[in-house]
Structure 1
Amino acid sequence: MREPPVHVSSDEVHAHPRHTGHRGIDLFLALTAVFISAISLYVAIEHGRTERDLVAANSWPYLQYEGTGTPEQLSMSMENAGIGPAKVNTIQLMLDNKPVPDTMTLFERCCGVTPEEWKNMKVPNSLASMSVLRPGENRVLLDVTPAMVPAPVFLRLRSRWRDLHLRTCYCSVFDECWMSNMEDLSPKPVRRCDISEPSFNQDLLTPPSSSPPG
């Protein structure tokens, strides 16, 4: 005679699992239930991981370099070609593998411009680091035309144009961060950006009156 699934006493109610009466079959059914539960848990975990990856993919930023080096214009800019906002933490302009802190120092190193000569030139560059670029947004970092500087200076800068490179560290809205030269298709993932690194100066719309630091 099979045991009833529920046993009622004067104190409480006890529920009993149904048994077939065959120990082997009961063990098989129990193991099958455990296996199905494990599969369901695995599927739920993988589904959550997939959803997380999809959200991250839909907010993925990608910064790329855009430049012009012609007799009429020397320009350097970056564009967010990704599909999510890019939090630009640091951006460095490199000349001979050394960071250039500002536009005045760039012209001093590449073209021999003195602080006194710099006072007569106006070469703007816009805010680059500690800013957010929307998808499709372009940010001009350096834009020089022959009208802004003496002809010999422009020619010297143009001769060194291919020696200039950019290096930036940026993050997504989920704080996934990358270090990039904005030329490779695979930026290097990093845990976080080191904001203590010196960045290219963002605002030199008017010539500085002091000499560059030694």
Structure 2
Amino acid sequence: MNSTKWYKNPEMIVALSALLIGLVTAFTSIYSAYVDRAYSRASVWPRIEISRNFGAETFGYNVTNSGTGPAMINYAKVNYDSTFIKSWSDIDVFDKVIQSHVGNRILSSQQTIQPLVYQGDKVKDILIADEMIGIELCYCSIYDECWVIDRENRPKPVEYCEAKTEELFLQ
């Protein structure tokens, strides 16, 4: 009778070696897929920023996607003095403005839109009103990762973009 221990048997050594190589290969493949997915998400990460610009006779808001991928803007909310508004014309000093739609649109990487442009002599009045204006945008990446941004430009991750109908900015 053969008294060789089972783990010293050459066939078992080959089998255990094959098992170890298979496990290392499986873990390497899983980690590689994880890294590839993270890289793919990072390569199309949107980053929306809200800014304003003004001069002696001009005022405007800019919305820029400074990220690496497209941003799908799902909604916009604008409030003035803690009341949600539907259009810029709901604010008295914005009686003669050029408007562009900002909610429900796709903003390509490095693209800027101007949802509001004013030219005239009421810039001082508009700057006073500007301090009472709050702007909130909710946007998602192509991987359905979503963020909410306000004028502080600090994106907060959210599960999905949802807003009450009465709060939506319709312009």
Alignment TM-score, normalising by the size of structure 2: 0.82
1:129-159 deviation per Cα after TM superposition (whole angstroms, max 9, x unaligned): 1111111111111111225xxx4xx533221
Contact 1:103 1:201 in 2 (8 A): no
Q: Which runs of 5+ in 1 are unaligned?
A: 3-20, 112-117, 203-214
Is 1:139–2:146 an aligned residue pair? Answer: no
Contact 2:48 2:64 in 1 (8 A): yes
* 2:158 paired residue number: 190
Shift of 1:162: 2.7
Counterpart-to-counterpart distance in 1, 2:146 and 2:31:
24
CA RMSD of aligned residues (A): 2.6
Secondary structure of 2:31's partner? Answer: helix
Is 1:103–2:88 an aligned residue pair? Answer: yes
Structure whose residues are more often strand by fraction: 2
Aligned length: 167
Contact 1:89 1:195 in 2 (8 A): no
Counterpart-to-counterpart distance in 1, 2:160 and 2:131:
29
Q: Which runs of 5+ in 2 are unaligned?
A: none
| Closer, same or farther: CA 25–98 of 1 in aligned 2, 3 Å | farther
Counterpart-to-counterpart distance in 2, 1:49 and 1:99:
42
The percent identity for this pair of structures is: 23
From 199, 204, 214, the equivalent of 2:168 is 199
Alignment TM-score, normalising by the size of structure 1: 0.67
Contact 2:68 2:109 in 1 (8 A): yes
Counterpart-to-counterpart distance in 2, 1:97 and 1:34:
65
Structure number with bigger Rg: 1
Secondary structure of 1:183's partner? Answer: coil
